[in-house]
Chain A
């Protein structure tokens, strides 16, 4: 249990998707103009992460990694399907996003209209594919750890996008040099937020 909490805290603060790995920057920069929409998108991304990472973990462990097919038939332990992981992971992500889109459209039409094009675009959000690939690279020891990692990454992403949206709402009223307005100042603000997040590096877990 302690281990799971450590993975969660590490994924949220120390290895934050945005501030340490720049994943999901496209929608992070495009949707972060108001706190309300960015909160909706953040929750959607966290939700997709929490579903896809454990599914991909199971697929990776029982089907794709070297020797994973040993449980299925004799001689399965010699087969390595690792090179298929990219295409399988992205297919799972795209399918889950499609499902989410249909669910949101049916049960929360207001949020559906608010997010617009960015809901289907979650499929190509680097944070989600990235979390699956990190899960594969770091070799978590069970579906619970993968789940905890996904939850932490989602929480970290939500925290980052809501934080930058709140800052950007205020920055609108500031007197910024014209060429720096919009994208430029957002990058620099994110850099400053990342520096402040570096203080979490001191935590030893």
Chain B
């Protein structure tokens, strides 16, 4: 293992105990709307990971040069420049997914996870730990997106990544896709259930 144990904790912590969505309740805004299918959820997860990691490094390098009073504007400029790059890349190489994500690519700018990690970590740490922290939090976000999208696509459309997985025989025997899973309310309820399971397994996270 190349990484020291401290580095590994930065990278892997957000996948479980420090998960941004489940524990800090950040980044819900643009997360839930893209989870009706696996494919957009995966693309969104990768995009957010890239933006979080790169913006953390850039702002960590700039941290001594930014006056505290104007830091929010500087952060927004850096993040939105990165998001513009991602948006152009998606339009060039994955046009269909980019259409499905519609405004939610632009909304990566206001994703609370990115601003949260910059404020809480990158502005006080060196570039290398900031990079690991950014990647870790991005992956933690992508992980939850994929869990929610897995259940919504499997139960709602009977497919995974667009490929049918439920055998045709089941449909002939009377199984039907649950259309409610595709609609927005089920995303909220599924996240609620994921939080429930996560907290039942980590008792110290239970709110008083």
Interface residues of A (CB under 8 A from B): 19-26, 29-30, 83-87, 89-91, 94, 120, 123-130, 133-134, 137, 177-188, 190-192, 194-195, 198
Q: Give complex CA distance A21, B203 in Å.
A: 31
Q: Give complex CA distance A182, B184 in Å.
A: 21
CB of B102 within 8 Å of the partner chain: yes
The answer to whether A91 and B199 touch (CB under 8 A), given A22-B28, A30-B25, A194-B188, is no
CB closest chain-B residue, reference A88: B80
Interface residues of B (CB under 8 A from A): 25-33, 72-73, 76-77, 80-81, 83-84, 87-88, 102-103, 106-107, 109-112, 115, 183-189, 191-193, 195-200, 203, 206-208
Contact B76–A90 (Cβ < 8 Å): yes
Contact A90–B110 (Cβ < 8 Å): yes
Contact B192–A90 (Cβ < 8 Å): no
Q: Give complex CA distance A83, B28 in Å.
A: 25
Contact A129–B84 (Cβ < 8 Å): no
- Taking a contact as CB atoms closer than 8 A, the residue among B25, B87, B200 that contacts A26 in the complex is B25
Contact A126–B192 (Cβ < 8 Å): no
The answer to whether A86 and B192 touch (CB under 8 A), given A26-B26, A26-B112, is no
Q: Interface of chain B, helix or strand or loop or mixed?
A: helix
The answer to whether A179 and B206 touch (CB under 8 A), given A25-B28, A26-B29, A133-B103, is yes
Q: Give complex CA distance A192, B186 in Å.
A: 9
Q: Give complex CA distance A124, B184 in Å.
A: 22
- Some 15 contacts from A to B, beta carbons below 8 A apart, are A19-B184, A22-B184, A29-B28, A86-B87, A94-B72, A129-B106, A133-B103, A133-B106, A133-B107, A179-B199, A180-B192, A181-B206, A182-B207, A191-B192, A198-B183
B80 cross-chain contacts in A, Cβ below 8 A: 86-87, 90
Q: Give complex CA distance A84, B88 in Å.
A: 11
Contact B29–A25 (Cβ < 8 Å): yes
Contact A123–B29 (Cβ < 8 Å): no
Contact A191–B188 (Cβ < 8 Å): yes
Contact B207–A87 (Cβ < 8 Å): no
Q: How far is the CB of A22 from chain B (nearest CB, A)?
A: 4
Q: Which of B87, B88, B183, B185 has the most CB of A within 10 A?
A: B185
